């Protein structure tokens, strides 16, 4: 059974009634229950629902551009009026885009409920050109703020919430910690966020984890910027960046420099959502597995979460990083997908029960 951590009895009762999956026993797939195995296999095992996107490029204040992928759900039976159709903003992980299987499944769940989705692709990774020598990081929320403002301005009468996965969840938490109640978002769902970046990179630098995850993730980061080498060479020694063999080395040579941090430790401190959790001002549900090597169980801020009535943590003993596979042959729905579906539906259909908290 997952551990539900929430100091607010009203929020707890709301979840138990309208999002009962958080109180049900989670049975991980018996032949891949270990966290690392779940993490590695999920992208290969889970299906990829067909989604037709409408792409929109929006300009940023510094002259850059952001690629948004819309699933308008114009055939929605429950919400035929587009102006009031509930909207979910989705934030993928570190090098993820709207094509990730976990994003496609969230859109599939939203489609069945009649909702509209829009995927926020970080700069430069969804096929669009970089117009300025700047990408993204977990600490800088300027692009996310611009996207939230843009989406809300297009549909001001539509109920609006967000869901972030992995680094997308960290970015969303950092935004919420910065804005408090001053956001058009009604609520947020966070999945497999890295709460303390120092602990995350230390875990990923253990020999087996480096071999299975860290080196591959570093090459993905390098690949995501190599296409923009000509633009980025104006500011960076790209040969040095391409020699990085760990995420920490990449962040030291590239990310922390790009966003003006004096040291990598300054960046990691600013990027860690555990420092901002007390300031979150809207209802947030966070799902983590304690065997997630990207966000080790001992680094999950349980005590801090108990000090904020807006925060609920759901902690499973198994599930890995964005894994949460269940059933004998877990092709379709994961436990994470079910938490997403029930919580989003609970907020949009019964949200008035928690907004008076």
d(CA 125, CA 128): 7
d(CA 153, CA 194): 30
166 tagged catalytic: yes
Residue 87 has phi, psi (to 5 degrees) of: -120, 130
The residue annotated as part of the active site, out of 101, 166, 192, 224, is: 166
Please, are residues 152 and 160 in contact by the beta-carbon 8 Å criterion?
A: yes
Strand order in the sheet with 160-165: 3-5, 311-316, 284-289, 188-191, 160-165, 87-91, 116-121, 65-71, 54-59
The residue annotated as part of the active site, out of 155, 292, 295, 337, is: 292
The residue annotated as part of the active site, out of 110, 270, 321, 337, is: 321
298 tagged catalytic: no
d(CA 82, CA 44): 35
Residues in the chain: 357
149 tagged catalytic: no
Helix (H, G, I), strand (E, B), or coil: what is residue 336?
helix
- Helices (H) and strands (E) counted in the chain, each on its own, are 15, 9
User: Do the bridges between strand 65-71 and strand 54-59 make them parallel or antiparallel, or are there none, so unpaired?
Assistant: antiparallel
Largest Cα separation within the chain, whole Å, is 55
Helix 35-45 to helix 101-113 angle (10° resolution) is 70
Which residue in 34, 43, 99 sits closest to 334, CA to CA? 43
Catalytic residues: 166, 292, 321
């Amino acid at each position: 059974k997952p551990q539900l951590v929430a100091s607010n009895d009203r929020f707890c009762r709301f979840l138990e009634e309208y999002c009962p999956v958080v109180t049900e026993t989670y049975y991980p797939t018996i032949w891949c229950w270990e966290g690392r195995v779940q993490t590695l296999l999920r992208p290969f095992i889970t299906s990829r629902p067909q989604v037709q996107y409408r792409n929109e490029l929006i300009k940023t204040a510094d002259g850059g551009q952001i690629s948004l992928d819309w699933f308008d759900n114009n055939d929605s039976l429950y919400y035929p009026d587009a102006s009031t159709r509930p909207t979910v903003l989705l934030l993928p992980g570190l090098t993820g885009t709207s094509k990730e299987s976990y994003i496609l499944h969230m859109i599939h769940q939203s489609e069945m409920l009649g909702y509209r989705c829009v995927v926020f692709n970080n700069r430069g990774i969804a096929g669009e050109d970089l117009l300025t020598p700047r990408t993204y990081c977990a600490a800088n929320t300027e692009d996310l703020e611009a996207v939230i403002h843009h989406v809300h301005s297009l549909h001001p009468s539509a109920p609006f919430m967000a869901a972030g996965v992995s680094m997308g969840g960290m970015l969303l938490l950092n935004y919420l910690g910065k804005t408090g109640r001053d956001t058009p978002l009604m609520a947020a769902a966070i999945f497999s966020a890295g709460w303390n970046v120092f602990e995350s990179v230390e875990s990923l630098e253990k020999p087996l984890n480096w071999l299975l995850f860290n080196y591959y993730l570093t090459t993905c980061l390098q690949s995501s910027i190599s296409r923009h080498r000509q633009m980025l060479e104006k500011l960076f020694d790209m040969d040095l960046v391409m020699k990085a063999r760990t995420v920490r080395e990449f962040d030291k040579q590239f990310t922390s420099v790009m966003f003006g941090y004096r040291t990598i430790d300054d960046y990691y401190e600013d990027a860690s959502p555990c420092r901002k959790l007390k300031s979150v001002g809207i209802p947030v549900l966070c799902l983590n597995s304690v065997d997630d090597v990207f966000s080790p169980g001992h680094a999950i801020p349980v005590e801090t979460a108990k000090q904020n009535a807006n925060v609920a943590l759901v902690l499973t003993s198994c599930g890995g990083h964005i894994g949460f596979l269940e059933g004998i042959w877990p092709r379709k729905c994961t436990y994470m997908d079910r938490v997403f579906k029930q919580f989003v539906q609970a907020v949009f259909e019964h949200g008035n029960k928690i907004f008076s908290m």
